[in-house]
C-alpha cells in the first residue's frame, strides 16, 4: 500500500487519482489544516475506489504509527506541509515546526514500520535565483527568499543524509515548477484560503467577479514582454510524474532528484491572454511594482525525468487555463 501524507490537498488529491487508476491501494493522512474532507468523496467518485484515511497531524508520531500499524506500507509520498510564502515570513516558527518537525516525525514512524521508500514534494524555489536556464537538477541550490523555501532546502538535505546513512532506503525528491489546472472532471482542484498569492487562482477569482482586477507584479524584467516567466505545469501531469517515480523506486533507485516541469516558460501576459482566449472572458489587469522576492525567469530542463522516469508533460497552457476555470466555475 502507498501512504500519502497531505492526502486531501491540491497535488496529493490528483496524485491519488492517478495512483488508483494505475492500480495502487492508498492510505491517506491529513490534519485538514488546508483542505477539506469532502475531497475524499470526490476522489472516490472519480476513481470508484476507496481510500483508507485518518485525520492526523504527522507531528503526532504515536497516533500516526498506531493508524499505520494496520497496513503494510511499501512507499510513502510526502506532500503534507504549509506552503504560503508570505505567511511563512510572518510565522517562521510555525513553518519550520510543521514542515521540518513533521518530516522528522514521519521519518521516525517510517523507520519503525519498516517503510524504506519515500517520495518528497520539493520545489523549484530551492534553486533561488537560478544560476542558469533552463534549470537542470545539477544547477546549484540558491539562497531562498523566505522560510517556506528554506524548509524545502533543509528537508532535501535531511533526506540526503538519511539515505546516505541507510543505503537500503530509496528516496526520490521531486522539484515541482508551477502547478496549476485541475482534474478535467472539475471535481477536485485548488481551493486557496483568503486572497490568493499565486497567479492562476487570482485570475480565476477575477474571472468569476470575486476580485476586480489582477495586479501584474512588474513589467520591467529582462524577459520578452517584461513580465515574469514561469514553467506552469498541469497538476494532472505532475500527478502522473509521481506514478512514474513510484515505478523507479521499485527498481531500488537510491537517492534521486527530478525536476517536474514542462520546459516551457510563459510570461504573466501570456497566461492572461491564453486564459482570455480559451475561456472567452476578459481579465482586467493593472501593472504594479515588482513583488519582493520574485525572480525574472524560471523554467525547467525536464530531460532527466524523461530519460530516467519516462515522464513527459502532456497538457498545454490552454488545457491548464480551461481546467482551472472549469474547476472554479464548479465551486461557484
Ligand atoms: P495543499 O496545502 O493543498 O496540501 C498540503 C496538505 O497537507 C493540506 O491538505 C494540509 O491540510 C496538509 N497538512 C499540512 N500540514 C500537515 C501536518 N502537519 N499533518 C498532516 N497534514 C498536514 O498544498 P499543495 O499545493 O497540494 O502542495 C503539496 C506539497 O507540494 C507541499 O509540500 C508543497 O509545499 C509542495 N509544493 C507545492 C507547490 C505548489 O505550487 N502548489 C509547488 C512546489 C511544492
Ligand atoms: C510562488 C513562490 C514559490 C512557490 C510557488 C508555488 C514566491 C516568491 N514564490 O512561486 O516559492 O513554490 O509560488 O506555491 O512567492 N504574479 C502576478 N500577480 C499575482 C500573482 C503572481 O503578476 O497576483 C506573477 C508573479 O510575479 C510571477 C508569476 O505571476 O511572475 C507567478 O507567480 P506565482 O503563481 O505566485 O508563483 P511563483 O512566484 O513562481
d(CA 248, CA 256): 10
pLDDT band at 331 (very low <50, low <70, confident <90, very high): confident
Is residue 175 classed as helix, strand or coil in its secondary structure? strand
pLDDT digits (tens, 9 = 90+) for 212-237: 999 999 999 999 999 999 999 999 99
Does the beta carbon of 151 lie inside 6 Å of ligand 1?
Answer: no
Nearest to 115 by CA among 157, 53, 170: 170
Ligand 1 pocket check for 9: Cβ under 6 Å: yes
DSSP code per residue over 300-322: B--HHIIIII-------HHHHHH
Which DSSP string corresponds to 229-252?
A: EE-EEEHHHHHHHHHHHHHHHTT-
Which triple of cell numbers denotes residue 71?
497496513
Instruction: Report the pLDDT averaged over residues 13-33.
Output: 98
8 A C-beta contact, residue 225 and residue 296: no
Grouping H, G, I as helix, E, B as strand and the rest as coil, residue 167 is: coil
Phi/psi zone of residue 310: left (φ > 0), alpha (ψ -120 to 50 degrees), beta? left
What's the start-to-end Cα distance of the chain, in Å?
36
pTM to 2 decimal places:
0.98
**CA-to-CA distance for 15 and 143, rounded, in angstroms?**
30
Q: Percent of the chain at pLDDT above 90?
A: 94
Determine which residue's CA is closest to atom 19 belonging to ligand 1. Answer: 57
Distance 115 CA to ligand 1 centre (A): 21
Determine the atom of ligand 2 nearest the C-alpha atom of 200.
34
Q: Coil, strand, or helix at residue 172?
A: strand
82-133 pLDDT, tens per residue?
A: 999 989 999 999 999 999 999 999 999 999 999 999 999 999 999 999 999 9
Q: Which of 217, 290, 293 to mutate to test the pocket of ligand 2 (most atoms within 8 A of CB)?
A: 217
> Could you tell me which residues are beta bridge partners of residue 170?
117
Has residue 192 got a pLDDT over 90? no
**Is 148 assigned a catalytic role?**
yes
Taking the C-alpha atoms of residue 203 and residue 284, their distance in angstroms, rounded to an integer, is: 9
Catalytic residue, chosen from 148, 202, 221, 266, is 148
Amino acid at each position: 500500500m502507498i501512504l500519502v501524507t497531505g492526502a486531501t490537498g491540491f497535488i496529493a488529491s490528483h496524485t491519488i487519482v492517478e495512483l488508483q487508476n494505475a492500480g495502487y491501494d492508498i492510505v491517506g493522512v491529513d490534519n485538514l489544516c488546508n483542505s477539506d474532507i469532502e475531497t475524499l468523496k470526490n476522489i472516490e467518485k472519480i476513481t470508484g475506489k476507496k481510500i483508507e484515511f485518518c485525520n492526523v497531524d504527522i507531528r503526532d508520531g504515536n497516533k500516526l504509527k498506531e493508524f499505520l500499524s494496520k497496513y503494510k506500507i511499501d512507499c510513502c509520498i510526502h506532500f503534507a506541509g504549509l506552503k504560503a510564502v508570505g505567511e511563512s515570513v510572518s510565522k517562521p516558527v510555525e513553518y519550520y515546526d510543521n514542515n521540518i518537525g513533521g518530516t522528522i516525525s514521519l521519518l521516525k514512524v517510517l523507520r519503525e514500520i519498516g517503510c524504506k521508500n519515500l517520495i518528497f514534494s520539493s520545489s523549484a524555489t530551492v534553486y533561488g535565483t537560478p544560476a542558469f536556464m533552463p534549470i537542470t537538477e545539477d544547477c546549484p541550490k540558491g539562497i531562498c527568499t523566505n522560510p517556506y523555501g528554506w524548509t524545502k532546502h533543509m528537508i532535501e538535505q535531511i533526506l540526503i543524509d538519511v539515505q546516505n546513512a541507510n543505503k537500503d532506503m530509496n528516496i526520490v525528491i521531486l522539484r515541482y515548477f508551477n502547478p496549476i489546472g485541475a482534474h478535467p472532471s472539475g471535481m477536485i482542484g485548488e481551493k486557496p484560503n483568503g486572497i490568493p498569492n499565486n497567479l492562476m487562482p487570482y485570475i480565476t477569482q477575477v474571472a468569476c467577479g470575486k476580485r476586480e482586477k489582477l495586479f501584474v507584479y512588474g513589467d520591467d524584467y529582462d524577459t520578452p514582454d517584461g513580465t515574469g516567466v514561469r514553467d506552469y505545469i498541469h497538476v494532472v501531469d505532475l500527478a502522473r510524474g509521481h506514478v512514474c517515480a513510484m515505478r523507479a523506486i521499485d527498481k531500488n533507485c537510491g537517492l534521486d532528484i527530478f525536476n517536474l516541469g514542462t520546459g516551457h516558460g510563459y510570461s504573466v501576459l501570456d497566461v492572461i491572454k491564453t486564459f482570455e482566449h480559451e475561456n472567452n472572458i476578459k481579465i482586467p489587469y493593472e501593472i504594479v511594482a515588482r513583488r519582493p522576492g520574485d525572480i525574472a525567469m524560471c523554467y525547467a530542463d525536464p530531460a532527466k525525468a524523461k530519460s530516467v522516469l519516462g515522464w513527459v508533460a502532456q497538457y498545454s497552457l490552454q488545457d491548464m487555463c480551461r481546467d482551472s476555470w472549469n474547476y472554479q466555475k464548479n465551486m461557484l
